[in-house]
Amino acid sequence: MMAAFDTLATLLGPRFATSDAARAQNGRNEAHFPEALPDAVAYPQTTAEVAAIVAACAAEGIPVTAIGAGTSLEGQHLAVRGGISLDFSRMDRVLAVNAEDLNVVIQPGIPRTALNEALRATGLWFPIDPGADASLGGMAATRASGTTAVRYGTMRENVLALEAVMSDGTVIRTGTQARKSSAGYDLTHLLVGSEGTLGIITELTLRLHGQPEGVLAAICRFDDVEAAVNCVILTIQSGLPMARIEFLDEMMVRGFNLHSGGTLPETPHLFVEFHGTPAGVAEQAQSFREIAEDFGMADWQEATTTEDRSALWKMRHSAHYASAALRPGVRTLATDVCVPISRLAEAITKAKALATEMGIIGTVVGHVGDGNFHYAVRFDPADPQDLARTHDFAGRLNELALALGGTVSGEHGIGLGKQKYMGAEHGAALDWMRRVKDALDPKGILNPGKMLPPVA
């Protein structure tokens, strides 16, 4: 490894670090995985530097693992086989705002809130919002979504084009600045969601959306889970163009109250938002309220000012930390199942019953308009019983999702935590994913140990 490290130290100077502090910084995670330290951290500033780093690593078979904000919940950024941690924090520039084409070209290290800050004066925004202030590169690599996917889609629908460094250091561009194309294999979508295992994203062209003229958000309280979830199902089936429709169970509300000092009644809630013209928004809200009232909505509080709306969604985005408040000092395993909307009530009801039966402490929160919800389980990894029970619960929930025609991961990806379900979800297709991996990364240097389970 030493020859490559000398090359990289010469290339990057102080932006190549082997100190314990630098390694430890990129070895942590916000989920439940053990620390995993890279041998060194590289902080590239240009695509050419990324290409040179990957080429040097390819020559000696050194693993390369990209890291953005490090907020992933499945450990995708952890260098579990050592090697280089490719830290994109210094590739965080907006390269071009093409307002007239409703897109923006960025470097992958920029965090999502910084991107929207940079767009503010344009009247455009990028809606996708995982809870954390993730980097756009990490979001693309994990095919992330968030509260607005029900209206605007996920990273899958919003990456128009990208640049990537492939496993031998070659730089490629996929997609164009046009809105659609039928020319050739869709390498953009192959790389989006590939978790840095097929190529390293070095630039993204993202679709932007006009900031809606009218916005209306509201907090809806229900007395029970079934009523809230059935309201969601009918809302989606009715075709109402919800901008956001988030479910929170009573435990999640308790977490928010503990974390943010709120005073919401601790029963199931929906947080909703409507986007459109002012008249359109009023019309949508009225249609939604009629459905919600049919399901016995107990209370409706509109967030009328921009500040109220910001506070509402800031609270929602703190769910990961608010869940922690229910049982401080331990770790979180967040499940991420996504099911067909028609099976959502069954999935959530069974999940909650299973949790009760197994003595699981956790919260349920989700982007239920997509059929996606998270059980954030607090557990003590040092307690073997707690650990086993938690993983058993997650496994049974994942099996339930598959049985209902869904997926084990709506938006967090596979990383380290969900490899064991890849066979059950994909069947024979898993072998063809391996063929793609072997073809594009024959030496296996790109984020090894992630996504694809070891061959049995």
Token readout for 370 is 């997509």
Closest to a copy of itself by CB, 45 or 122: 122
Q: CA-CA distance, 327 to 453, in Å (whole number)?
A: 32
Nearest C-alpha neighbor of 345 from the set 202, 215, 222, 176: 222
- SS3 state at 217: strand
Does position 447 bind a copy of itself by CB under 8 A? no
Which residue in 36, 69, 397, 422 binds a copy of itself (CB under 8 A)? 422
CB of 44 to a copy of itself, least distance (A): 19
Does position 5 bind a copy of itself by CB under 8 A? no
Does position 172 bind a copy of itself by CB under 8 A? yes
Does position 166 bind a copy of itself by CB under 8 A? yes
**229 to each of 68, 249, 296, 324, 388, how far by Cα in Å?**
34, 10, 12, 24, 30
Closest to a copy of itself by CB, 14 or 239: 239
Does position 366 bind a copy of itself by CB under 8 A? no
CB-CB neighbours of 178 under 10 Å: 10
- For 160, how many CA atoms within 13 A lie in the half-sphere containing its CB? 19
CB of 334 to a copy of itself, least distance (A): 13
CB of 430 to a copy of itself, least distance (A): 7
Which residue in 341, 348, 351, 400 binds a copy of itself (CB under 8 A)? 341
Which residue in 370, 373, 400, 446 binds a copy of itself (CB under 8 A)? 370
Which residue in 296, 298, 430, 443 binds a copy of itself (CB under 8 A)? 430
Closest to a copy of itself by CB, 6 or 290: 290
- SS3 state at 174: strand
Nearest C-alpha neighbor of 32 from the set 416, 452, 454: 416
Does position 427 bind a copy of itself by CB under 8 A? yes
How many amino acids of this chain bind a copy of itself (CB under 8 A)? 89
φ, ψ dihedrals at 222, nearest 5°: -125, 160
- SS3 state at 319: helix
Write the binding mask 136 to 155 for a copy of itself: x where contact by CB under 8 A, - elsewhere: ------xxxx---x---xx-
CB of 197 to a copy of itself, least distance (A): 9
Pairing relationship of beta strands 84-87 and 40-42 according to DSSP bridges:
parallel
